[in-house]
Structure formats: structure tokens, C-alpha cells
């Protein structure tokens, strides 16, 4: 990945941030300063996309249609279900759960995700998730 989110904690020194940024730039990375909050920037935004994709799935829109719409309509390289399958559905579920708890909001529309994880269909690593591999 080209991007690195740099988040300073409460006790992170300015020198530590400067050293990290200098090192990352020397590696050709693009940096953004992120808040010290669950998910930082990218994962927090992508968690919202995953939640909406799961809501659409629960309403009856097929995963393949959602993935195609996101890829072509938002110019993403992968759709949300393809991405969840790549990351692993067990990992995806835990990330959504932690984010929901941290943001004090309910974890909703995860029935399909729960079912796949319970059945051991964890995405690419098991050959089946929202898609078959």
C-alpha cells in the first residue's frame, strides 16, 4: 500500500512522530495524520461501507451486484464482499464488532456474515465466503 496513517497516542512524542514520518517517506509512502480513534481513517470509512453493503444484502440485493456497483460506480478495485472475503470473514466480523463497540453503536445486518463464519466459510482462505473461490 502506498498510504500509511500516522496516529499519535496520548504519550507519543513529537520526535517519535517525526522519525516515523521521515522513515516512511524514505520508503516512498504517502502519509496522512489520523486521529487516535478506532479504525483511524480508512478502516473507519470502509467499515461504514461494509455495514451498508451488509444492509443491502439483508434487503435482498445479491453480493455480486453490490460488488459490481461499488467497483464500477465508485472506482474501487474490489467490491466490499470481495474485500471481506480477502481479509477473512472471521477477521471482518471481529473488526466490525470492535468498531461498533468503540463507537457505541449496534452491530446490525450481520446475519449473513454470522452464518458464514459459523459454518466455517471464511472467504478466500477456506475457498468460500460471500463468493466461491
In the structure grid, which three cell numbers stand for residue 1, read together?
500500500
Q: Which residue's entry shows cell 471482518?
A: 92
Asked whether the beta carbons of 119 and 93 are under 8 A apart, the reply is: no
**Does one domain contain both 30 and 92?**
no
**Does one domain contain both 55 and 29?**
no
Q: Which domain holds residue 29?
A: 3-34
**Biggest CA pair distance of the chain:** 51
> Is residue 131 one of the residues assigned to a domain?
no
**Does one domain contain both 18 and 73?**
no
**Does one domain contain both 16 and 75?**
no
> Is residue 96 one of the residues assigned to a domain?
yes
What is d(CA 41, CA 35) in angstroms, rounded to the nearest whole number? 8
What is the full per-residue pLDDT of the chain (133 aa) written as tens digits? Answer: 899 999 999 999 999 999 999 999 999 999 999 999 888 999 999 999 999 999 999 999 999 999 999 999 999 999 999 999 999 999 999 999 998 898 888 888 889 999 999 999 999 999 999 999 9
**Does one domain contain both 52 and 18?**
no
Amino acid at each position: 500500500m502506498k498510504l500509511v496513517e500516522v496516529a499519535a497516542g496520548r504519550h507519543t512524542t513529537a520526535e517519535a512522530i517525526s522519525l516515523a514520518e521521515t522513515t516512511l517517506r524514505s520508503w516512498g509512502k504517502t502519509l496522512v495524520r489520523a486521529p487516535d480513534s478506532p479504525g483511524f481513517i480508512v478502516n473507519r470509512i470502509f467499515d461504514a461501507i461494509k455495514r451498508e453493503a451488509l444492509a443491502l444484502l439483508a434487503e435482498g440485493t445479491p453480493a455480486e451486484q453490490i460488488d459490481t456497483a461499488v467497483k464500477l460506480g465508485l472506482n474501487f478495485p474490489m467490491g466490499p464482499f470481495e474485500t471481506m472475503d480477502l481479509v477473512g470473514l472471521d477477521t471482518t466480523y471481529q473488526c466490525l464488532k470492535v468498531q461498533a463497540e468503540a463507537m457505541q453503536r449496534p452491530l446490525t445486518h450481520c446475519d449473513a456474515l454470522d452464518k458464514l463464519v459459523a459454518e466455517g466459510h471464511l472467504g478466500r482462505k477456506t475457498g468460500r465466503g460471500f463468493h466461491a473461490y
